[in-house]
A and B are shown apart, each in its own frame.
Chain A
Amino acid sequence: MNLEKKTAVSALNFTKKFGDLIAVDNISFSIKQGEIVGLLGPNGAGKTTTIRMITGVFPLNKNAKLKIFDKDIDPSNRSYKINFGIVPEISNAYRDFTVWQNIRFNAKIYGMNKKALQIRGIKLLKTFQLEDKSNKKTKTLSKGLKQRLNFCMALIHNPSILILDEPTAGLDPISVNILRNQIEGFKKEGKSIFLTTHNLSEAQRLCDRILIMNKGRIIADEHPDVLREKFKPQLKILVKFQSKLSQSQLDNFNRVFTFEKQIDDFFIFSSKDPLNDISRLHNFVKKENLQIGKLKFKEPTLEEAFIHIINEDEFK
């Protein structure tokens, strides 16, 4: 039995220009079956354009190739789009349709029969806690409920690849929690998920791999922990002394360590060589006849790693 996971989406040499602006600059990436891949990047990095190229809203450039489950896709044969379930940031459900009418419309577009629609539709309404809202007009729903409806519409035909464009942006914590739990559930079901987000803690919690895009290029493609690991030199050391430092002690401390800030009696400084810095701190404490009250280490967050990568790319 072949236990190797299939590649659900393989994008090769994607390029998209709008006049002189290169929105997507010859990028290639893949998403494995059952994998959650996060696409991060500042506004205008080319994330949405990339999604639009995969989903066929924008045509592929001549030398671009798209493979779905290892099969070359002919963009003129739109049948491949049935593999996708797309959840946008802003609801695109018909405002004057009820929740159920929107779900039914999507089911019909994908060629589902009445029985399949009933079974799947009711299950999704339950999953996303929208059962009591099924007869409500979409325009009367809150943003969170509309986004849950978007999930129902995207999942009605049970697609194997989910494309989520900032699915939790601006939602209430209850909706965010429901949606994040569901996204983790879809992964367990074996669905492949391509997720764009500005919420880095969300990316860290959900994603198996993160692609960072800037100026149309992919500048990083790693596991979230690996991305953070790469910035280990930026580990932060927080030290609190048992007694208040005199001015001369403070000057000496400043000479030994370049501390960034002081918060609640904690002196915080970045460390490129934590072992060496701890040893220097020990010597400093001994020499100044001080005692350490508390010592903490703060690992770099994905957010810090992200900002560092983008800044590094900007100054290249």
Chain B
Amino acid sequence: MMKIEKDYSTLKSKISIIWTLTRKNISLYIKSGPVLIFGLMFPFFLALSWIIGRNIDSIQIFIGILAMTSFFTATAISPVILPIETRENSLERLTSSPVGLLEIIFGIMFASFIYSFFITSSIMIIFILLLNIQIVSISAFLFILVAIILMGFIGSLLGILVSANPTEKTSDVMVMMNLLKFPLLFISGIFIPFESLPLIVLIFSLFSPITFMVDILRFATNENNLFPLIIDI
């Protein structure tokens, strides 16, 4: 029996491991309870309660639903993976194999991003067709896609950050996540337009990634955007 040698420091090998982890995360966790509740059902019912009985402009609905979907789906998978894998000891198996911490984090991030990107893009296309939303130009459409991509990554990183505190309970992480998510949602110009926000809240809204996504969506739908695009991105 001889010592086995293999180089895990090459980019090819790292990408292969990240992709394996990403596929595992997608196939194992998109159907998990917390992801379905906080990633799909919660934003769906929140949007429903916001729209029903109110005379809201279709563009506002489009912006609100797209921003909410993007944020909720991006923050759905990443917080549940680490607590579940800690509880089931599979995280220990990964750390005792030639998988590095960065690859584990990237695996979670990409899974979260892919989930968010596909759901948000599908919702976007459905709503553009249903509500007959006019996107001002092809470049504006591309900016929306960039915003969805960035939100996917930022949301997943937020989830990883919150779940970094070692715990075996998904509920602990979800409570923390919701403590962060809801204030961010309410100060980001979805329910209350930026113009109506008090100055102090407007200042706080600058710390929310949703603010900039909403601003890009406003630009793309020919509404008044608050910041130049370069700042939004």
Contacts and interface: CB of A to CB of B under 8 A. Distances in A.
A158 B20 contact: no
Interface string A90-113: 111111110000000110111100
B89 A90 contact: yes
21 contacts: A34-B1, A52-B92, A55-B96, A77-B9, A78-B99, A82-B5, A82-B6, A83-B4, A88-B89, A94-B88, A94-B90, A95-B88, A97-B27, A106-B97, A108-B17, A109-B97, A110-B98, A111-B6, A111-B17, A190-B1, A192-B1
A189 B1 contact: yes
A81 B97 contact: yes
A73 to B, nearest CB: 11
A86 interface: yes
Contact of A108 (B4, B20, B93, B94): B20
A192 B90 CA distance: 24
B169 interface: no
A313 to B, nearest CB: 29
A33 interface: yes
Nearest to B5: A79
A308 interface: no
Contacts of B20: 105, 108-109
A33 B1 contact: yes
A157 B7 CA distance: 14
* Central interface residue in B3, B16, B24, B94, by most chain A CB within 10 Å: B3
A120 to B, nearest CB: 13
Interface in B92-107: 92-100
Interface string B9-34: 10001001100100010011000000
Nearest to A160: B1
Contacts of B92: 52, 57, 88, 92
The 8 closest A-B pairs by CB, nearest first: A92-B89, A55-B96, A190-B1, A69-B3, A160-B1, A108-B20, A92-B93, A81-B98
B96 A159 contact: no
A111 B90 contact: no
B230 interface: no
A165 to B, nearest CB: 10
Helix, strand, loop or mixed for chain B's interface?
Answer: loop
A68 interface: yes
Interface of B: 1-9, 13, 16-17, 20, 24, 27-28, 88-90, 92-100
Given A94-B24, A109-B17, A111-B13, A79 B97 contact: no
Nearest to B2: A160
B96 A56 contact: yes
Contacts of B6: 79, 82, 110-111
B96 A105 contact: no
Contacts of B97: 81, 106, 109-110
Contacts, number: 90
* Central interface residue in A55, A69, A105, A190, by most chain B CB within 10 Å: A105
Interface in A135-166: 153, 157-160
Given A83-B4, A92-B90, A109-B94, 5 more contacts: A56-B96, A71-B3, A86-B96, A96-B28, A109-B98
B28 A68 contact: no
B93 A86 contact: yes
Nearest to B93: A92
Contacts of B98: 78-79, 81-82, 109-110
Contacts of B9: 77, 79
* Central interface residue in B4, B8, B20, by most chain A CB within 10 Å: B4
Nearest to B13: A111
Contacts of A106: 97
Contacts of B89: 88, 90-92
A79 B6 CA distance: 6
A160 B4 contact: yes
A269 interface: no
A84 interface: yes
Given A79-B9, A82-B6, A158-B4, A92 B28 contact: no
A300 B95 CA distance: 41
A191 interface: yes
A106 to B, nearest CB: 8
A56 B16 CA distance: 21
A191 B27 CA distance: 34
A117 to B, nearest CB: 12
Contacts of A86: 93, 96
Contact of A56 (B7, B17, B88, B95): B95
B139 to A, nearest CB: 39
A160 B3 CA distance: 7
Contact of A84 (B17, B24, B96): B96
A9 B1 CA distance: 13
Contacts of A159: 4
Interface in A41-72: 52, 55-57, 68-69, 71
